Chain A
Amino acid sequence: MEGFVQQLINGVSLGSIYALIALGYTMVYGIINLINFAHGDVYMVGAYVGFYLTTSMGLGFIPSLILSMVVCALLGVVIEKLAYKPIRKSSRIAALTTAIAVSLILEYGMMAWVGAETKTFRSDLLPKTSISLFDGNVILEAKNIYIIAITIILMILLQFIVYKTKVGKSMRAVSQDKEAAELMGINSDRTISFTFAIGSALAGAAGVMVGAYYNSIHPLMGMAPGLKAFIAAVIGGIGIIPGAVFGGFFLGIIETFVSFAGASTYKDAVAFLILIVILIIKPSGLLGKNVKEKV
């Protein structure tokens, strides 16, 4: 029982990271039908920005989190304008190849810039206190609480932006029908840029939190979580915001339990197996609606 609760805490922490990255994937896919392979690398850039803000500038956790989100939002907009806007009408494969190229540029650009070695985050960013539960058998650390709380706050904020603001309304409109939204006077280019900005900011936040949680970062750190977050988005139903959150937590918890059961070398295979089973049974995702294709 204690082990179960402990793993659940770890799983939810890992899941919140997946969920934050998955949100960016799902929003971008929802609006321009592109798997943004570079999204995992925006998360990596976020972690590096957080690293320099905390070590070189000596900023605290929350200010560097917010600044890193801003930097990543700008990066997302730049990527969209330079790389994805010209290929919006190209074939799927050309678009995906461009996304892969952007991902490689970010990874190896960062490697050429700061070096390939692993960097270590300051370890005093998050308070070291912890709460013991079940007579000390389960430890709830402050950093777990921070990660989960910040994720929930960001999700509430996102929910507010998407459902209560004008910009969110135009995002929903463009993702439903771009042409019709343009006819209603919505500037779709600006809306798409805004979507990239929000998605990238969330990835940046995830990057800083992972840096503070696991303490080490390197230029290729975005690849694996990027794929996992994408799986999470597909599990929940790509293009659906609550689906990405659900998928992220689901995948994080499953992965932690697979590792706990002693099969940690199989955890990637389990993630992909779940993905394939869900794709075959219900391609629109667990929370998705079935859409019939019209001729």
Chain B
Amino acid sequence: MKNLEMLNIKNIIIKLILIILFYFISSFMLEQGIIPPHIESNMFFIGINIILAVSLNLINGFTGQFSLGHAGFMALGAYASAAVTSIYGKDFVFGILAAAVITAIAGLIIGIPTLRLKGDYLAIATLGFAEIIKVLLENYEKFGGAAGMSDIPFYTTWPWLYFSVIITIVLISNFIKSYQGRACIAIREDEIAAEAMGVNTTYYKVLAFVIGATFAGIAGALYANRIYYIKPGDFSFMKSIDILVMVVFGGIGSVSGAVVGTLILAVISTALQDAMEYRMLIYAFILAIIMIYRPQGILGKNGFKSIKRRVRKLFKKEEKANASIKG
């Protein structure tokens, strides 16, 4: 038992060192201008997308509740932070806090009635709420209506983004391993059985939904204070689909899957940047082929573990083959 604890501490220390090392390397490279500007801006969007994908994965992948409204929460967060930082001129900390609080409340208000629904119905209801948020923002003249808000102060620097991504990943991975997280996974596996075992299913579903929404709001705040200009059209139904695709592509129900899916999709869409007209077409084909031949996503439910296992199996086979040759 003690050995296990030691191993755990060792693991955590190694991870911490890696995180800090990568941070210093990346910020050094950014400061020295080694990374070209277009890759730099891609890095920011990848970071924001990772927060969105990991938080959506908590709702869709771990709790098994099919939400299609993540862009709506992102929009709320983006507008909250934009309003606090540009209209009221407050610090970015308050912008992010406002985004988190408002999206958490919105998640609660939307989650309580809709999470009684199941499967596709829930997907459509959340999609409907996201569209309603978009239409309300389009009609709210104080935030520029459909034309959007501009002159949002630039606050999302690399340290802000980097540590927001790390904190999101750490918090959500730990949440999944906690008592509450296991309750969420139980709901995904079998809601009725979970309820029979004494899990308060409504409570945990709403909890996961609110946590996911909050992180989407934070991602929205980071996005708004990076891009100077936001409009409701940026957060349409297609944005929710984009986030869903990142989750499904990498492997639904695994944090590393969501991260890897986001990275791969970012690479694909950057690589296709020159093929303007065919970009979306090729993207859609890749998506369809992955879904048909590997519906569990590239990494699958177990994330990196499945790859490790497979590699180990491969080596074992080779050993066996070698042994049989010798024998």
Which of A's residues lie within 8 Å of B, judged by CB? Answer: 29, 33, 35, 83, 86-87, 90-94, 96-98, 100-102, 104-105, 107-109, 111-112, 227, 230-231, 234, 265-266, 268-269, 272-273, 275-276, 279-280, 283, 293, 295
B261 to chain A, nearest CB (A): 11
**In the bound complex, how far is the Cα of B192 from the Cα of A211, in angstroms?**
48
Q: Which residue of chain A lies nearest to B287 when distances are taken between CB atoms in the complex?
A: A101
Q: Is the CB of A279 within 8 A of B132?
A: no
Q: Which residue of chain B lies nearest to A295 when distances are taken between CB atoms in the complex?
A: B192
Residues of chain B with a CB closer than 8 A to A102's CB: 284, 288
A15 to chain B, nearest CB (A): 19
Q: Is the CB of A97 within 8 A of B138?
A: no
Q: Which residue of chain A lies nearest to B61 when distances are taken between CB atoms in the complex?
A: A93
Q: Is the CB of A108 within 8 A of B281?
A: yes
**In the bound complex, how far is the Cα of B119 from the Cα of A293, in angstroms?**
13
Mask: chain B, 231-274; 1 = CB below 8 Å from A; 0 = not: 00000010001001100100010000000000000000000000
Residues of chain B with a CB closer than 8 A to A98's CB: 287-288, 291-292
Q: Is the CB of B244 within 8 A of A97?
A: yes
Q: Which residue of chain A lies nearest to B196 when distances are taken between CB atoms in the complex?
A: A295
Mask: chain B, 108-119; 1 = CB below 8 Å from A; 0 = not: 000001101101
B135 to chain A, nearest CB (A): 4
Task: Tell me whether A269 and B132 are in contact in the complex, defined as CB-CB below 8 angstroms, given that A105-B288, A108-B280 are known contacts.
Answer: yes
Q: Is the CB of A272 within 8 A of B277?
A: no
A115 to chain B, nearest CB (A): 9
Q: Is the CB of B291 within 8 A of A87?
A: yes
Residues of chain A with a CB closer than 8 A to B119's CB: 92
Q: Is the CB of A234 within 8 A of B124?
A: yes
Q: Is the CB of B124 within 8 A of A283?
A: no
Q: Is the CB of B285 within 8 A of A105?
A: yes
Asked if B202 is at the interface (CB within 8 A of a chain A CB), the reply is no
A284 to chain B, nearest CB (A): 9
A231 to chain B, nearest CB (A): 8
Q: Is the CB of B292 within 8 A of A97?
A: no
Q: Is the CB of A93 within 8 A of B288?
A: no
Q: Is the CB of B288 within 8 A of A101?
A: yes
Task: Tell me whether A91 and B295 are in contact in the complex, defined as CB-CB below 8 angstroms, given that A105-B285, A230-B124, A269-B132 are known contacts.
Answer: yes
A277 to chain B, nearest CB (A): 10
Q: Is the CB of A276 within 8 A of B252?
A: no
**In the bound complex, how far is the Cα of B60 from the Cα of A253, in angstroms?**
35
Q: Is the CB of B280 within 8 A of A276?
A: no
The 30 listed contacts between A and B (C-beta, < 8 Å) are: A33-B120, A83-B292, A87-B291, A91-B252, A94-B248, A94-B296, A97-B245, A98-B287, A100-B245, A101-B285, A101-B291, A102-B284, A104-B283, A105-B281, A105-B284, A111-B277, A112-B278, A231-B124, A234-B124, A265-B135, A265-B139, A266-B139, A268-B135, A273-B128, A276-B114, A276-B128, A279-B121, A279-B124, A279-B125, A280-B116
Asked if B40 is at the interface (CB within 8 A of a chain A CB), the reply is no
B287 to chain A, nearest CB (A): 4
**In the bound complex, how far is the Cα of B119 from the Cα of A279, in angstroms?**
12
Asked if B123 is at the interface (CB within 8 A of a chain A CB), the reply is yes
Q: Which residue of chain A lies nearest to B237 when distances are taken between CB atoms in the complex?
A: A227
Residues of chain A with a CB closer than 8 A to B244's CB: 93, 97, 100
Asked if B136 is at the interface (CB within 8 A of a chain A CB), the reply is yes
Residue of A83, A86, A104, A280 near B117 (CB, 8 A) is A280
Q: Is the CB of A104 within 8 A of B284?
A: yes
Q: Which of B139, B248, B278, B288 has the most CB of A within 10 A?
A: B288
Q: Is the CB of B281 within 8 A of A266?
A: no
Residues of chain A with a CB closer than 8 A to B121's CB: 234, 279, 283
Q: Is the CB of A86 within 8 A of B292?
A: yes
Residues of chain A with a CB closer than 8 A to B135's CB: 265-266, 268-269
Residues of chain B with a CB closer than 8 A to A231's CB: 124, 128
Q: Is the CB of B125 within 8 A of A275?
A: yes
A78 to chain B, nearest CB (A): 13
